[in-house]
Chains A and B, each alone.
Chain A
Amino acid sequence: MLHRLSNHRRAVIGLVAALAVGGLLQFTNTNPAVSQAQYINAYEVSEDPGLDPAADVWSKIGSVSIPLTAQAGQYIGGGSVTAIKAQAVHHEGRLYVRVSWDDPTMDDATTRAEDFADAVAIEFPANGQTAVPSICMGQADAAVNIWHWRADSNAGLKDPLEVYTSALVDGYPYTESLFYTAREAGNPFANPENGAVQSLYSRAFGELTALNVQDVEGLGTHTDQGWAVVFTRDFLSENPGHASFAPSTSVDMAFAVWDGKEDERNGKKAVSQLVTMNIGAAGAFEEDGSMVGTMAIAAALLLGVAGLGVGLAVYGYREKGR
């Protein structure tokens, strides 16, 4: 083996040099590779989009379709939603993210034990993290901040008599929270007035916990096309465990969607891989509007370059025949 390798002295020297250069690159943390992963541009807009998913601003900017895959966990199923569309803008130091997906049924009640709500979540690295966290609820040295919106919290508390129509309640004289144990204990799903979004923190499976400061707002609406949900939060958040944002920076994010109709809950859901959100310092819209000329030049260049390559391939094929 060594004798044979000695016949390839140049290649062996090259391989040894690569081992050394690799070590040097690692030691100096010099990574010449550039990400080509899917990304979302969050441009600055002049008007406040608010929480309305149907606000004008969303129709003026492009959306990015992000494929999802099934996470079944301990249950069979998951992944009934195959893609989401995401958009993002920022206005006066506040980030807005709109997520929409196809879902013909509106599952916004969890009154019965067998009902599950539609939901969507966005995962960011928690502030202060230097490594990209594992997408599965973070990791020991890289925590995540999760914004979780649920349709039942969005809809608010519903009267049990709506679903248990034959039920009869003789009377319940108490109105204080003390006698509504879930509400008194701070269960967010018994306190929908606190908002439809929970800001959560995790460093591993089984460690998911609500953050002390809940500063993420959200609102969802359901149409024939499905759900559209807007999340919003101020860029700056000094609280531990919260995600951080700033203009002219990029942040990793991932999405998860639950379809209540398909009994999806907890780890039975559809998830994306990490995508990058570029928080632009520039405005979203061009002053002069039309970019047809630029697009035509870009398309012509692309076709020209591709045509050159195909021509060279055909030339090579003909050379083979000679």
Chain B
Amino acid sequence: MAISMRRTSTGSSWSDLTLVVGGLAVASAIELAILRTFTRTAIHIPALNALQEPYEVLSKGGRYAYFVAVALMLPAMAMLALQFGRRGFAALFGVLLFAAVAAGAAAGVGGRLILDWATLTAIVVLAGGLAIQSPRRAAALPLASFGLAFAMSGAYSAAPDFAEAGANVEFPGWLLDGAEISGLAFALTAPLIASGRGDRAARWTGLAIGGMALLVFLGNGSTSRFLLLWNVGLSGILPGFLYAAAAGTLSYTVVALARSGRGLEAAGLGLLITGGIGLHSTYQSGLVVAGLAALWAGTLAAAQAGEGAEARAETPDAEPQQSPASFAATS
């Protein structure tokens, strides 16, 4: 695939960031396709025993993609954290809060109460802050919807954590319905993030993926819903065509962002898809945190690029701005 670059003198740091975050998105997408999807549905393959060897090779490949994604997560988060200035203190706060509790949990420090609720706080702060900061008002809708869906689903499943403090807490079941609706709202309104920049390739990709998803839902609705629940945290209680449309709009948005020079945001959105909604593991939560931080960094860069252009327009004799916003590496 082609790489198109808008270069400035300090552009390489953004491009490096896009490559690393993009690498994380690709590794997690491979892991999602093989480890979380193929190996869970392979039992449908007739005579799987005869195909045991290729199955195991593929399964190990998926597991390798998982470990590569885990290895990439730390440098990606560190690089993202370094991008945030005063406007991104909340993003920095969210990334550091999650990194601290996830590292603590890996080391066996802190219980689920701290881990789960700090994760939810970090993600709500990142999604909410991003929605507030977004230069395009309409883009706030999908971003806020994602944060709301994650918060409702996560809070519901994290309620038993309060048993660590000796309390029996149970949240109402409508939180799950709310998470389902908000999660779908995020996906269906995701094109607002790309703000109508999609070209023909994006539209065809969206139609193809959405069409394929519709066929899968019509052909084997139960397995599709299983995968929805296991992979992205949605239980599939709404009509299948809505989920198919959501798959189409999400893939349209990723391609539209990538092809309009917003590779970092495309990778960020991809990470939200592979991370899913709700609490599954610190790996998947980390994908979501990295995805939101990437979207935030992309938004900040775009805003700085816009301000730089405005400044140059106002002072035509001035030296060219040393804008860092040259992140536009798309692949």
A300 within 8 A of B: no
Per-residue A-contact encoding for B274-293, CB less than 8 Å = 1, 0 else:
00000111111110000000
From residue 131 to 190 of chain B, which have CB atoms closer than 8 A to chain A? Answer: 132-133, 156-160, 162-163, 165-170, 173, 176
- Which of A71, A137, A294, A310: most chain B Cβ within 10 A? A310
Query: Given A134-B40, A316-B89 in contact, is the A7-B68 Cβ separation under 8 Å?
Result: no
Contacts of A78 in B (CB 8 A): 222
Of A83, A205, A271, A312, the most chain B CB neighbours within 10 A belong to A312
Cβ of B228 < 8 Å from any Cβ of A? yes
Report yes or no: A316 in contact with B3, Cβ–Cβ below 8 A.
no
Contacting chain B: which of A30-38, A160-168, A184-192?
A30-38
Interface string of A128-154 (1 = CB under 8 A from B): 000000111101100000000000000
Determine whether the beta carbon of A204 is less than 8 Å from that of B43.
Answer: yes
Let me know if A1 is at the binding interface, CB within 8 A. Answer: yes
Question: Secondary structure at chain B's binding surface: helix, strand, loop or mixed?
Answer: helix
* B121 at interface, CB cutoff 8 A: yes
> Residue among A137, A204, A306 with the most chain B CB within 10 A?
A306
Which chain A residues border B89 with CB–CB below 8 Å?
312, 315-316
Complex contact B280–A36 (CB within 8 A): yes
Contacts of B115 in A (CB 8 A): 34, 36
- Determine if A136 and B43 form an interchain contact, defined as CB atoms under 8 angstroms apart: yes
Chain A nearest Cβ from B235, distance in angstroms: 5
The stretch from A10-18, A119-127, A209-217 touching chain B is A10-18
Q: A37-B281, A294-B165, A312-B93 are in contact. Are A305 and B133 (CB under 8 A)?
A: no
Q: Given the complex, which residues of A lie within 8 Å of B97, measured CB to CB?
A: 305, 309
Binary contact track A170-208/B, C-beta < 8 Å → 1, others 0: 000000000000000000000000000000000011000
A15 touches B170 (CB 8 A): no
B-contacting residues, A1-51, CB 8 Å: 1, 4-5, 7-8, 10-12, 14-15, 17-19, 21-23, 25-26, 31-41
Partner of B133, one of A61, A273, A320: A320
Interchain CB contact under 8 A, A18 and B72 = yes
Tell me which of B70, B125, B167 contacts A310 (CB under 8 A).
Answer: B125
B305 within 8 A of A: no
Instruction: Kindly state whether residue B63 has any CB partner on chain A within 8 Å.
Output: yes
Given A8-B19, A14-B20, A41-B160, A291:B167 Cβ within 8 A: yes
Known: A291-B167, A312-B89. A69 touches B125 (CB 8 A): no
Q: Which of A5, A21, A26, A67 contacts B176 (CB 8 A)?
A: A67
Asked if A159 CB lies within 8 Å of chain B CBs, one says: no
The interface residues of chain A lying within 8 Å CB-to-CB of B48 are 140, 204
Are B43 and A139 interface neighbours, CB within 8 A?
Answer: yes
| Size category of the binding interface on chain B | 35 or more
Is the C-beta of B5 less than 8 angstroms from some C-beta in chain A? Answer: yes
A binding-site residues for B, Cβ under 8 Å: 1, 4-5, 7-8, 10-12, 14-15, 17-19, 21-23, 25-26, 31-41, 61-65, 67-73, 78-79, 82-83, 134-137, 139-140, 204-205, 267, 271, 273, 286, 291, 294-295, 298, 302, 305-306, 308-310, 312-317, 319-320
| 30 A-B pairs with C-beta separation under 8 A | A8-B19, A10-B12, A10-B16, A11-B19, A11-B20, A14-B16, A15-B23, A17-B71, A23-B67, A34-B105, A38-B279, A41-B163, A63-B170, A67-B235, A69-B228, A70-B236, A71-B226, A83-B173, A136-B40, A136-B226, A140-B49, A140-B52, A267-B222, A294-B165, A302-B117, A302-B121, A309-B94, A313-B129, A314-B132, A319-B86
Binding site for A on B (CB under 8 A): 3, 5, 12, 15-17, 19-20, 23, 27, 39-40, 42-44, 48-49, 52, 60, 63-65, 67-72, 75, 86-91, 93-94, 97, 102, 105-106, 112-113, 115-119, 121-122, 124-125, 128-129, 132-133, 156-160, 162-163, 165-170, 173, 176, 221-222, 225-226, 228-230, 235-237, 279-286, 303, 329
